[in-house]
Structure 1
Amino acid sequence: MNQNSIEAVNFTPLAGLHNPHLQTLLPRLLRRRVHLKPHWQRLDLPDGDFVDLAWSEDPQGAKHKPRVVLFHGLEGSIRSPYAHGLMQACQQQGWLSVVMHFRGCSGVPNRLNRIYHSGETEDARFFLNWLRSTWGEVPTAAIGVSLGGNMLACLLGEQRGDIPLEAAVVISAPLELEPCSVKLESGFSRFYQYYLLTQLKKNALRKLRAWPDSLPVDLLQLKGFRRLRDFDDAVTSRAHGFVDAGDYYRRASAMPLLKQIETPLLIIHAKDDPFMTDAVIPSHEQLSASTTYQLTTHGGHVGFVGGSLRRPQMWLEQRVPQWLTPWLEATT
C-alpha cells in the first residue's frame, strides 16, 4: 500500500469543467451549506491561550468510535467546504471527526501576541495527546488541508516523541512555501492572494480590536499590505520569531522533513493546482517508505470535483475515507 512513488491517479474531473480555477471554486458552490450541527468545545493551551474544537457529534457519547482530526487551511474553519464535506464523509463511515481551529480561526480572537503559521506544530501535538488522554485510545487519523497539510507533514517529520496517529492524509499542501508565495503573485492566482489576504486582514483587525497591541503592526500598516508576503514579513514572521518572510518560508516548509516520516501517509496533489508550482512535487528520494504520493493531472486546489452536472461527486470525500479505512477499522 505504501508505494513511495509519484504516479498519476484515476481522478476524472467533471465533464467540461477540468479548468483548475473552476475545480478550485466549484466546491464553494456545491458545498455552500453546512449540514452538520457541530458540537463546540474550547481547549485551553499550556501557554494560556486556546483553540476551539468543532466535533461532528458530542464526543462523550462517541468515545468508542474511530477518530479523524482535521487541520484546515489558511483562514479556514469548519465552514470551509472541504472541512464539513470531509466530516460528513467520515460520519457516514461511522467515525467521530473534529476540526481543530488554529488560533483565532473560529471567529473568536486568541489572547496572546501570536497567531498561527504553516510550521507551527506545538498546538497540534498538544491537541493530539490531549485527545488520547481525555477521550481514550482508539484508532485515530489526521487530515491536513493546504496550510494545515504542510503543518501536519512538519509534525510527522519532526518525530519528537510519540504521535498518536495510525495514519494521515495531506491534501494540496504547499510543501515549499517560497515558490507558492511567488505563484500567488502572478496571473489569475492573484485572485486567491487577494481573497486570502482580505481574510487575514479581517482576522487581524478583529484581534487588534479585542486585544490592542497584540500584533506587531497597527491598523494603518495592516491596510497597506498588498501581498501575502507583506503580511508574512510584518506579522507572521515577527510574531513567531522569524527574521522575515523568507526565513519563515524556509524554516516552515515541510519538504525537507518528508523523508523522516514514519506514520503511514497519503499526499494528494493536483499538477494544475493554481496555488503551487512543480517545486512542491517531491522526488522519489524525498519520500519516506511510509508515504504514498498521488499526483493527479487535474483537480485544482482542494477541488477534485468529478461526476456530472446532475450528480457532481467530491472525489476527496471518497478517496480519503477509502484510504484511511484499513487503519481506522483494523482494530475495532
Structure 2
Amino acid sequence: MASFRKRGDLQWQARIARKGYPAQVKTFNTKSEAEAWARDIERDMDRGGFISRVEAESTTLKACIDRYTREVSAQKRGYQKEIYLANIWSALPLASRFMSSIRSSDIASLRDDWLKTLKPATVLRRIAFISHVFTIARKEWRMESITNPVALIRKPQPNNARSRRLDDHALQSTKGIGANELDTVIAASQSDLLPTIVVLAIETAMRRGEIADMQWEHVDLKRRFVHLPETKNGSSRDVPLSPKAITVLERLQQSSGPVFNLRSDAITRAFDRARQRARKLYEVRCEEQGIESDKRFLMDLRFHDLRHEATSRLASIFPLHELTKITGHKDPRMLMRYYHPRAEDLALKLK
C-alpha cells in the first residue's frame, strides 16, 4: 500500500511497500503527482506486469557508460576505439541525466548536430555504441522499464564504400622515384619495418591489426602460412604466404615473440607519413622535369586500401569459397566490397 510524506515545503515523497516486490520510492513537487504515480505502480502490480523503475530512475547515462567500458568494452578487441566513443558520450550534458529520462528526440538532436560537421559513418558509430549501452542496461542491469531510444530514430546512411586500386602504371617520365604508387611509398619510407608490412598487406590481404599482432610462433615459413588465432570477426584462420611474403619475413626471422612489435595506429601513421613524403617528392620531380603532375597520384591512398588491392588481385587466382578463407570474410557480400576488378582486365577475358 502506498504512503505519502511531505518533505519540506515543496516536495512529496511516495512510497510503495508490497510483499514480493522491491520498495518503490519517488519524490514529486505535488501530492497529486505522487498519488497518480502510486496508482500506476499499484495497478501494474495488480496485473502482474510491474517492472521496477528504480535502477533506471536512479542511474545516470554516464554511470552506465562507465560500467559498460569496464564489463563489456574491456572484452572486445576494439577496446581503445570504444573508450574513445565512451569519452565522447560521457562529456555530453546528456550523460548527467538518468537513463529513464533519455528520449529518442535527445539522440536525434545529437545526430543532427553531428551530421553538420561529421561523416555519416562516424555519426553511425557513435549512435551504435550508445545503442548497445542501452541494450545491455535493459537486458542485464535491471532496467527493463526503459526503451532503447536509438531504436526509434532514423540512422545516418554512410556512403563510404571505396573502390580505390593502386596505380600500377610506370612513371617513366618522373625518374628518381618509384615506378608506381606502391613502390613510391616504399621508397619514401624512413622505417625499417614499414616496407615489409606493406608487402605483407598487399600479398596476404591481412588487416592492419592482424599484421600488427603477428607472432613468430604462428608463422610457418616451411609450410608457407601464418596462423591468426584471433581476428576481427572472432574466428581464427590460416593465411597462405606468397613467395614474396616468405622472402620479406625471412629477413626478419626470429624464434619467438612479436614479428613487428608495433601498434596498429603506428602502422597507419608511418604509412601516411611515407605517402605524404612520396607525394611531395613526386611533385618536385615533375616540376624539375617541367611536366604536369597527376593530381590523383597518392593523394587519397590509405593503408586499408592495400587490403582492397590484395583482395582484388587474389580474386583472379582463387575461387570465391577459397578467397573467403584467406581474407576472413564470413559473408560473401562483404567480400564483394573489397573486390574491384579493372574493366581492362575483365575485357581481356572476353573472346
What is the TM-score with the length of structure 1 in the denominator? 0.24
Q: Which has the larger radius of gyration?
A: 2
Larger strand percent: 1
Larger helix percent: 2
What is the TM-score with the length of structure 2 in the denominator? 0.23
Higher relative contact order at CA 8 Å, sep ≥6: structure 1 or structure 2?
1
